[in-house]
Chain A
Amino acid sequence: MNIAQRIRVEDPRRESPSVDPITLEIIRHQLVAIPNQIERNIERTAFSPLIYEYKDYAVGLVDPNGRLVAQSRGSLPIFVANALGTAVREGLSLLGPDGIQTGDVVITNTAAWLGQHLNNVVAYTPIATAHGLMGFFAVLVHWVDVGGAVPGSCLSSSTSDVWQEGIQLPTLKLIERGARRTELFRLIATNTRFPHLLMGDIEAQLAGCQTGHDMVQAVIARYGLDCVRDVIAALWQDSAASVGKLLNSAPQGTYRASSFLDDDGVRKDVRVPVEVTAHIRDGELTVDLSGLAPQVAGPFNAGRNGGAIAAARIACKYLLAPMTPVNEGDFTRLRVEVPDGTFLSAGPGAPIGQSGSTVPTVVDTILRALSDAFPERAAAAHHGIYGIHAFYGRAPATGELFQNLDTVTGGWGATATEDGPGPYRSSGHGDVPDIPSEMQEVFYPYRIEAKRLRPDSGGPGKQRGGLGVEKVYRVLHPCQIVVALDRTACPPWGLAGGGPGGTALVEVLRQSGEREALTKGERSLAAGDVVRVLSGGGGGYGPAHERPTDKVLMDVRLGLVTPQGALRDYGVALDGVGQVNLAETERVRREMRLKGPGG
């Protein structure tokens, strides 16, 4: 099957004269501020650290067709694909345009629609007025556990269908015309391993919907629905115009790039190719993802909306509109083509537990394809993975179940003018801080013995990539570790002749002296075992032998590059007292130049 699916938003209608340009700005400010205010409320009231520490949520306002009007600034990038609007569209298709009433709060996590792991549950409520439906206020929250094979539901690397990953809630009215449906609350509480955390988070989520609804209603009451609609149209129009301007000024044509993922967690010897074609034509960007590998056996799939479209939109946002609040207009000029059945447009029933984790690689591949069209905006690849390493087990003192879901921070890619930044989490994450080692050591049965940068892991280049990180854990009581790493065979690439960054790895060192390298899987750990988690570096930009020797020397002094690395990667030879050996450096660099890029 190879049906080209076109997802487009019609061009917003032209600004009408019913609202003057000053009032328009005032309403715009008020609308865009509401999701940020609700976000504060959710952070304050959520129970689970996944919400208030990890910020695994999205808060926003969508129009009656699910088109994004405004989303809170803390929402994770992975949700800009408009998970909120997709949920609403499912509800409209199932319940009909009149099926959702004032006072209803609908929830959904249906795999076939949202296409992201079942933990991502959207709740939304309609904003109805006497003059028609204004839209919906929606809050997505990562539910801490929705049942399934493993605690946390989404951590296994080896589920083979979605039913092993938890319960699905296909457009259910959790609140109907203001009345709570207690049997649904009971159903949810019964199907989670952490009912206290989850039910507390759900309260925060519901309160977010209601309060957001009330605040939007207050704006409508003051200015009228027509004005508010005009403002939304203008909002979209502005974003679309900015993106269009960039696309028109870029060299028109077709751009390609490819990469691959290590494996799908089940068939460990089969690589997962990512082929991207992008066309810039007439102020439009088409991202053709028909070159993605077919659906995989393990849980590294995603559905169309949560996968292919999310990846294309995230790339579009990073490249073309990074500094403005997200709305549907950012994507008006984006078309995504992808047939059914790829690993980012997987069919119903496909395992999707680790749905988001492949997206940063696909985003980077799209950005790589477009780097020739926007050389001044492009960056080399970042470390590119979530790099899940989750410890779980029973707390030795209380016997209670604990789980610490952690992801890696690694190097980001260099640009034409700057070394790569980092270490930061993946491009699918935003304002997601590490939990301090001191806090982890109190709550979990291990000690953290080191957390340091990995010298030489930044991709060599005229501009160097950011460095990866090494973390060393010493286990104090028996527990389990779940690991899901990727991109060990296709390292974070450089641009314009820059070299690749170092790759990620988890090593388990047993007390017996046995040493095992691990990329995906689960292991039992005994007291005294040591786990090393290594994250990747960012790619370099430009040939490494063009990096000024004083910068290389500074990197060596700072310990970011070893003397061996300086010679091998940059052709800079150092003498015994740490000064540059100019003659030898000149000789080595001449050889590197002759060998050409990548030499």
Chain B
Amino acid sequence: MPHSARYLIAADTGGTFTDLAVYDTQTYETRFGKTLTTYRDLIAGIIEGLEDAGGELSHGRLLKHGTTHVINAFIQRSGARVALVTTEGFRDVLEIGRGNRPVPFDLRYRREASLVPRDLCFEVPESIAADGSILRPLDTSAVKALAEQLQAAGVQAVAVSFLNAYRNPRHEKEAKDVLQDLLPGVFITTGTELSQEWSEYERASTAAANAYVGARMDAYIKAFETRLRERKFPGALYMMGSNGGVMASSHASSHPVALVESGPVGGCIGASAYARALGLDRLIAFDMGGTTAKCALVEHGRFEVQNTYYAGGYERGFPIRTPVLDIVEVGAGGGSIGWLDDNGRLRMGPHSAGSDPGPICFGRGGTEPTITDANVVLGRIGADSFMNGRLELDVQAAAEAIDRKLAMPLGFPGAQGVDRVAQGLIDLATVAMTAAIKEITIERGRDVRDYALFVFGGGGPLFGTQLARELGITNVIVPPHPGAFSSLGMLMAEARLDFARTFLQPVTESSLQSAARELTALEKEAVIAIGQDFDVSHLVFEHEAELRYRGQKHAVRVRLPAVLSIEAVIGAFEDAYRMRYGRVHPELTVDLFVLRVGALIAMPRPDLRQVSGVAASGEVPRTARRSVYFGAGEARMEVPIYRRRELPAGFEVRGPAIIEEYSATTALGPNDRMRVGDLGELRITCMPGAKSE
């Protein structure tokens, strides 16, 4: 690595904007950039944005890239022509799915069409029993014959997924080898390469999804690397995985489904980095952007991971078995629209004005009142200080629309009525978001009041104190650079790959021995996979297992102790079980269900003390005062406005107050207290309120 390779770069490509963060390992400076995601040439957009942020590629040490490429290909149905090869008798594994209707009273309910049309679903003779034994060998001559058919049908990618292959992947490997020989240039993937857990529909769906985006992702990554080389980039490209770790670009090329939630994870990683640095055991990471809000739990610096992700949503989408940070999304963002329904009731969202045309106050043709319009009308967002004044906001137009479209019909006259209704929109968004946060905590048996609320994204800091009050949370934390936090978080990411296997044995001395062997086998698999691109001498493994009482199919996920003794494993299980159910059943048999290995490698990353952005201590100028409406008193107050970059560590203020910075605004309600922490974080102590703020 040349000495000049000094920049750590993160590029997070979202639907509208690409966010960039560049950390200079020599000067310890962090710089941010934002460019419109250039649809015709994503890569050009990133390279331009980087240069704007002062990140010279020729001095880049590494570049971490998060992208919505994969999820967009699913949503827009712009992937490859894929064939599915399955076990005889199971051609319809994708068509049949699991037979549920998540929208129960809709006579027309249907899931979105499968990624593979039925005439490209093929069966081959083979059979493997539930214990992994081979009942009928794979008919390789049938596979060879099939290859000709696939070629004739012009397929660009093939997914191979057999029943019970999670127990024995041999036939899938054989079939892949035969097909790859006969179909050079075709992207071929097997179910068990991506998941070795049971559930034939989910695995087949995952394989189909991987095949669907594989060829395109591979081409994208290769093109990206070529362009980086042209710019004399001496470092390595890493892709941001949905599991919260980055992976080598070669791994991403063969496992593109692992990038399905590549974008939103950056903020969670950042939240967990701060949680560790600040010693916060329990926090809720809350990210509010233009169209949605997202929340996730971070406990002891770790976030929860889900094994199954639904591309296109649970109600109508298809499942992908890949570890995805457990993020819950709500249709409430700055662009969410307030409207009146047929019964004249005030509603908020889920429709969003997005960034085009955007809120009315942006003056870009938006006509529907949004959450951002409400915040501007109420004075929480400064009309002339938004994005450091780069975009002047039209308060008048926003107020008029709220008046005409909502306040008048609802019977709230005058300027006071507009304030009241604007606050109503904020309150409705708050109710929707608090309901989501309550669901994720209740679902895990946690009490939301035990958590700190960690807010970021363009809208998070505006809503933080109000959400906290609703939830009974006392502590709110706003990290440095909340508006660019996702790319900042990405800079903190380690390299990570996950491996899992369905195990299914009771916890006994002998089964623990074989579990230890399985874990070692998974570690070897990990070393091979990760060792292609990384120095494995610093590899760290995390062992997890899913356990359950026999007869109860719900499994509980626990971290495994270093030495697998019955006492230690059962103890870890019982602790987790008691947390969830409130009691344990020592008389019941405990089954070891699934074994998991996470392989992690630390990467160079910024020092959090260097990204704090705090001012040197001294006099803190108040920039101004302006009239801000707070719901609690149902009245306007003259509120001091601060510029965040002028606040030194240790600075304290009591609300009401507004703290402005380039990409976000923090609102402190009356009596809330705020202190600037050592890492530049705003630590707010929320005063409980009887009524919503």
Q: Which of A433, A441, A558 contacts B117 (CB 8 A)?
A: A558
User: Nearest chain A CB to B133's CB is how many angstroms away?
Assistant: 12
B106, A451: Cβ atoms under 8 Å?
no
In the complex the two chains form, what is the Cα distance from A203 to B582 in whole Å? 10
B91, A452: Cβ atoms under 8 Å?
yes
A433, B100: Cβ atoms under 8 Å?
yes
Within 8 A of A (CB), among B142-170: 163-164, 166
In the complex the two chains form, what is the Cα distance from A60 to B102 in whole Å? 18
Within 8 A of B (CB), among A413-438: 413, 415, 418, 421-425, 429-434, 436-438
A77, B109: Cβ atoms under 8 Å?
no
B107, A29: Cβ atoms under 8 Å?
no
A439, B199: Cβ atoms under 8 Å?
yes
B129, A447: Cβ atoms under 8 Å?
yes
Chain A residue nearest to B504 in the complex (CB): A442
Encode A432-462 as 1/0 by CB contact (under 8 A) with B.
1110111101100001111111000000000
In the complex the two chains form, what is the Cα distance from A422 to B99 in whole Å? 7
In the complex the two chains form, what is the Cα distance from A450 to B428 in whole Å? 49
Given contacts A196-B551, A558-B118, contact A317 B105 (CB under 8 A): yes
User: Nearest chain B CB to A564's CB is how many angstroms away?
Assistant: 18
B346, A425: Cβ atoms under 8 Å?
no
User: Nearest chain A CB to B437's CB is how many angstroms away?
Assistant: 10
- Does A472 count as interface, using CB distance less than 8 angstroms? yes
Chain B residues whose C-beta falls within 8 Å of the C-beta of A439 in the assembled complex? 198-199
How many contacting A-B pairs (Cβ < 8 A)? 206
- Does B552 count as interface, using CB distance less than 8 angstroms? yes
Chain A residue nearest to B107 in the complex (CB): A379
A26, B427: Cβ atoms under 8 Å?
yes
Q: Which of B198, B410, B552, B692 contacts A438 (CB 8 A)?
A: B198
Given contacts A21-B346, A469-B96, contact A430 B101 (CB under 8 A): yes
Q: Which of A442, A449, A451 contacts B93 (CB 8 A)?
A: A451
Interface of B is mostly: loop
Chain A residues whose C-beta falls within 8 Å of the C-beta of B438 in the assembled complex? 33, 37
- Does B110 count as interface, using CB distance less than 8 angstroms? yes
B199, A22: Cβ atoms under 8 Å?
no
A450, B431: Cβ atoms under 8 Å?
no
In the complex the two chains form, what is the Cα distance from A18 to B178 in whole Å? 74
A430, B102: Cβ atoms under 8 Å?
yes
Q: Which of A44-52, A285-293, A503-511, A580-588 contacts B (4 or more CB under 8 A)?
A: A44-52
- Does A11 count as interface, using CB distance less than 8 angstroms? no
Given contacts A431-B104, A434-B99, contact A421 B435 (CB under 8 A): no
B130, A441: Cβ atoms under 8 Å?
yes
A441, B164: Cβ atoms under 8 Å?
yes
Given contacts A437-B200, A451-B96, A453-B95, contact A33 B101 (CB under 8 A): no
A44, B89: Cβ atoms under 8 Å?
no
Query: What count of chain B residues pass the 8 Å CB interface test?
Result: 73
B581, A424: Cβ atoms under 8 Å?
no
A40, B201: Cβ atoms under 8 Å?
no
User: Nearest chain A CB to B350's CB is how many angstroms away?
Assistant: 13
- Does B421 count as interface, using CB distance less than 8 angstroms? yes
B431, A415: Cβ atoms under 8 Å?
no
B89, A449: Cβ atoms under 8 Å?
yes
- Does A41 count as interface, using CB distance less than 8 angstroms? yes
B424, A22: Cβ atoms under 8 Å?
yes
Q: Which of A22, A242, A323, A431 contacts B342 (CB 8 A)?
A: A242
Q: Which of A200, A242, A379, A432 contacts B108 (CB 8 A)?
A: A379
Chain A residue nearest to B690 in the complex (CB): A222
B581, A45: Cβ atoms under 8 Å?
yes
Chain B residues whose C-beta falls within 8 Å of the C-beta of A437 in the assembled complex? 90, 163, 200
Query: What count of chain A residues pass the 8 Å CB interface test?
Result: 81
Given contacts A322-B106, A379-B107, contact A53 B553 (CB under 8 A): yes
In the complex the two chains form, what is the Cα distance from A431 to B97 in whole Å? 13
Encode A393-422 as 1/0 by CB contact (under 8 A) with B.
000000000000000010011010010011
Chain B residues whose C-beta falls within 8 Å of the C-beta of A452 in the assembled complex? 89-92, 96
Given contacts A21-B410, A37-B442, A238-B343, contact A430 B200 (CB under 8 A): no
Chain B residues whose C-beta falls within 8 Å of the C-beta of A450 in the assembled complex? 88-90
B101, A424: Cβ atoms under 8 Å?
yes
- Does A163 count as interface, using CB distance less than 8 angstroms? no
Given contacts A45-B580, A196-B551, A558-B117, contact A431 B101 (CB under 8 A): yes
B554, A36: Cβ atoms under 8 Å?
no
- Does A550 count as interface, using CB distance less than 8 angstroms? no
Chain B residues whose C-beta falls within 8 Å of the C-beta of A412 in the assembled complex? 107, 109
In the complex the two chains form, what is the Cα distance from A322 to B420 in whole Å? 33
Given contacts A242-B343, A438-B166, contact A429 B431 (CB under 8 A): no
In the complex the two chains form, what is the Cα distance from A453 to B96 in whole Å? 8
User: Nearest chain A CB to B307's CB is how many angstroms away?
Assistant: 13
B105, A322: Cβ atoms under 8 Å?
yes
Chain A residues whose C-beta falls within 8 Å of the C-beta of B444 in the assembled complex? 44
Given contacts A22-B421, A421-B109, A430-B104, contact A44 B445 (CB under 8 A): yes
Given contacts A26-B692, A41-B443, contact A423 B427 (CB under 8 A): no
A44, B435: Cβ atoms under 8 Å?
no
Among A317, A437, A558, which residue has the most Cβ atoms of chain B within 10 A? A437
- Does B439 count as interface, using CB distance less than 8 angstroms? yes
- Does A349 count as interface, using CB distance less than 8 angstroms? no
User: Nearest chain B CB to A205's CB is how many angstroms away?
Assistant: 13
Q: Which of A44, A431, A436 contacts B201 (CB 8 A)?
A: A436
In the complex the two chains form, what is the Cα distance from A322 to B103 in whole Å? 9
B198, A436: Cβ atoms under 8 Å?
yes
Taking A26-B427, A49-B553, A73-B104 as given, write out 20 further A-B residue pairs in contact, using a Cβ cutoff of 8 Å, ordered by the A residue number: A22-B420, A22-B421, A43-B443, A44-B444, A47-B551, A196-B585, A196-B588, A242-B342, A323-B103, A377-B107, A422-B110, A434-B99, A436-B200, A436-B201, A437-B200, A439-B198, A441-B130, A450-B90, A453-B118, A469-B96
Nearest first, the 4 closest Cβ-Cβ pairs linking A and B are A450-B89, A430-B104, A409-B99, A22-B424
Give 18 pairs: A residue, B residue, CB < 8 Å, sorted on A.
A22-B346, A41-B442, A44-B445, A237-B343, A238-B343, A318-B107, A412-B109, A418-B108, A423-B96, A431-B101, A431-B104, A436-B199, A437-B200, A441-B129, A451-B90, A452-B91, A452-B92, A560-B118
Task: Name A residues whose Cβ lies closer than 8 Å to a Cβ of B.
Answer: 21-22, 24-26, 29-30, 33, 36-38, 40-41, 43-47, 49, 52-53, 73, 76-77, 196-197, 200, 203, 207, 211, 222, 237-238, 241-242, 245, 317-319, 321-323, 326, 367, 377, 379, 409, 412-413, 415, 418, 421-425, 429-434, 436-439, 441-442, 447-453, 469, 472, 557-560
